[in-house]
């Protein structure tokens, strides 16, 4: 705690132009609209100031918690008094490279990235146009939909590796993407700065039509009118989480303000005034009931903070980010 206070003071002096919010309510920074205040939330305007910020935090033996668009996170009502968060909202550079690949910084939204690809007659990112996350958050999760995943189109990723305070460029293979997972979830201390996407040439009108069709399917099936963090649980092998929850009779089931969506049982929605505790209780109840009904243990897809939080039943794996880990070279 003391280190965090000293770090905030030093950062204010060393980076006077930095947007830095103290005791910032996180409900305003996530799609679930849930969460108490974080001690500090910085919004660096470019990669250089982000790296300087990481350096100053490391001097105080602190690691930041990175925030993209906040569409896959459940923040605690109690807030995060011990965390320094960094938002990538202003890392928004997006352009074509001379060889036709797309360069995107971590804070570029996936919908803007997909739209940019379409405008340049490049196909392969249509699936991502309705995913509300950012490039950084999308790569951490290997976001995907309708048969596509970011791993299919990413050529390389540039990261800042916090323990060494240096940058690495990782190839697609080195990112070790899997279903809703990546190296970045298994190795702490990594900040995603930017990525290069390699796409195939296609017809702009056909790409736009495909995006319209997928987004219409999304609007038809998903409860986009209510706050949520997307799918609450990962797809278990050989099953669909939504079908298992529906078959267990839980569609519409609610605890406090948290409810299993009546439109899509895979979503837990905030139907008004939900607390993080309501969501925890509901998710525990879903896991227990589905396990009793079908023998399948569901694993949360959304990230539940603080980082050491665990839903007790059946020991789900909550990914831990942004803690010191072994060097990236040792991983590859
Ligand atoms: C309505 C709705 C629909 C959705 N549909 C889909 C879908 O179809 N497919 C799908 O895969 N997901 C879906 N999601 C979930 C979510 O949008 C994705 O997981 C997305 O990739 C998260 O991106 P984000 O920027 O919001 O990440 P955040 O929620 O901000 O962060 C997610 C994780 O990534 C880390 N992180 C973020 N940026 C960085 C960075 N630059 N460096 C290091 N770590 C970082 C955070 O620390 C956190 O651990 C949906 C969500 C909603 C609300």
pLDDT, one tens digit for every residue, the chain (332 residues): 688 999 999 999 999 999 999 999 999 999 999 999 999 999 999 999 999 999 999 999 899 999 999 999 999 999 999 999 999 999 999 999 999 999 999 999 999 999 999 999 999 999 999 999 999 999 999 999 999 999 999 999 999 999 888 899 999 999 999 998 999 988 888 999 999 999 999 999 999 999 999 999 999 999 999 999 999 999 999 999 999 999 999 999 999 999 999 999 999 999 999 999 999 999 999 999 999 999 999 999 999 998 777 765 433 332 333 333 334 444 43
Residue nearest to atom 43 of ligand 1 (CA): 191
Place of tokens 């100053």: 56
Residue nearest to atom 28 of ligand 1 (CA): 70
Domain 232-332 has CATH 3.90.78.10: yes
pLDDT at residue 307, rounded to an integer? 77
C-alpha 9 to ligand 1 mean position (Å): 30
Residue nearest to atom 3 of ligand 1 (CA): 230
Which of the listed CATH numbers 3.30.465.10, 3.40.50.1100, 3.40.50.10800, 3.30.1360.120 matches domain 94-205?
A: 3.30.465.10
Q: Which residues have a Cβ under 8 Å from the Cβ of 295 and sit 6 or more positions away?
A: none
Residue range(s) in the chain whose domain bears CATH number 3.30.43.10: 2-87
Residues with CB under 6 A from ligand 1: 31, 65-73, 88, 106, 131-134, 136-138, 140-141, 143-145, 190-192, 222, 224, 228-230, 303, 321
Annotated catalytic sites, by residue? 180, 231, 301
Give the C-alpha separation, 296 to 249, whole Å.
Answer: 15
pTM metric for this prediction: 0.93
CA distances from 316 to 50, 213, 288 (A): 32, 35, 12
C-alpha 2 to ligand 1 mean position (Å): 31
Residue range(s) in the chain whose domain bears CATH number 3.30.465.10: 94-205
pLDDT at residue 308, rounded to an integer? 74
CA angle 12/82/72 to nearest 5° reads 100
Exposure of 99 in the CB half-sphere (CA atoms within 13 A): 7
Residue range(s) in the chain whose domain bears CATH number 3.90.78.10: 232-332
> What's the CATH code, domain 2-87?
3.30.43.10
**Going along 54-109, which residue ranges are E strands?**
65-67, 73-74, 80-87, 94-96, 102-105
C-alpha 13 to ligand 1 mean position (Å): 32
């Amino acid at each position: 705690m003391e280190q965090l206070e000293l770090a905030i003071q030093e950062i204010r002096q060393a980076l006077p132009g930095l947007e830095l919010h103290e005791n910032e309510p996180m409900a305003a920074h996530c799609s679930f609209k849930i969460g108490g205040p974080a001690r500090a939330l910085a919004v660096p305007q470019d990669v250089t100031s982000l790296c300087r910020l990481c350096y100053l935090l490391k001097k105080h033996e602190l690691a930041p918690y990175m925030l993209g668009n906040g569409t896959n996170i459940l923040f605690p009502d109690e807030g995060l008094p011990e965390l320094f968060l960094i938002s990538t909202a202003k890392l928004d550079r997006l352009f074509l490279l001379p060889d036709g690949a797309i360069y995107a910084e971590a804070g570029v939204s996936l919908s803007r990235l997909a739209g940019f690809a379409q405008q340049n007659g490049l196909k392969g990112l249509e699936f991502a146009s309705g995913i509300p996350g950012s490039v950084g958050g999308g790569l951490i999760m290997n976001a995907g939909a309708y048969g596509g995943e970011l791993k299919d189109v990413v050529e390389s990723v540039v990261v800042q590796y916090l323990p060494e305070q240096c940058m690495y460029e990782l190839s697609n293979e080195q990112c070790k993407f899997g279903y809703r997972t990546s190296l970045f979830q298994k190795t702490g201390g990594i900040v995603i700065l930017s990525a290069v996407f390699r796409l195939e040439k296609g017809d702009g009108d056909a790409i736009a039509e495909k995006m319209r069709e997928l987004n219409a399917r999304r609007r038809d099936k998903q409860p986009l009118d209510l706050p949520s963090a997307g799918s609450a649980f990962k797809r278990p092998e050989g099953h669909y989480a939504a079908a298992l929850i529906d078959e267990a009779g839980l569609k519409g089931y609610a605890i406090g303000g948290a409810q299993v969506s009546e439109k899509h049982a895979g979503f837990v929605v905030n139907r008004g005034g939900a607390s993080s505790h309501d969501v925890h209780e509901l998710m525990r109840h879903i896991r227990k009931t589905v396990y009793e009904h079908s023998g399948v243990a569901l694993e949360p897809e959304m990230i539940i903070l603080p980082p050491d939080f665990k839903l007790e039943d059946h020991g789900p794996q909550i990914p831990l980010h942004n803690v010191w880990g072994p060097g990236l070279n040792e991983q590859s």
